[in-house]
A = this chain, B = another copy of it.
């Protein structure tokens, strides 16, 4: 009985309880299907990260999106 541990980091972007439940179910199914792990021994932890704490392109994510949108318009 060993326990694959899955940690998902996503931006705090309004993922609903249902979506997070679907992530948990989906990730568990992949480990069961691919590595034949037991569902009850498969753990998934979701970390939701505030936009100002997630950096991409050297910018906080909200600022990165603001500039990308401005460039796009």
Question: CB-nearest residue of chain B relative to A18?
Answer: B34
Q: Which of B8, B26, B45 contacts A9 (CB 8 A)?
A: B45
- Determine if A55 and B24 form an interchain contact, defined as CB atoms under 8 angstroms apart: yes
- Which range holds the interface residue count of chain A? 35 or more
The docked-state distance in angstroms from the alpha carbon of A48 to that of B49 is 10
- Determine if A30 and B23 form an interchain contact, defined as CB atoms under 8 angstroms apart: yes
Q: Which residues of A contact B (CB under 8 A)?
A: 1-11, 13, 15, 17, 19-31, 33-35, 39-40, 42-49, 52-61, 63-65, 68
Known contacts A26-B30, A43-B56, A44-B55; 5 additional CB pairs below 8 A are: A5-B45, A19-B34, A28-B58, A30-B30, A47-B49
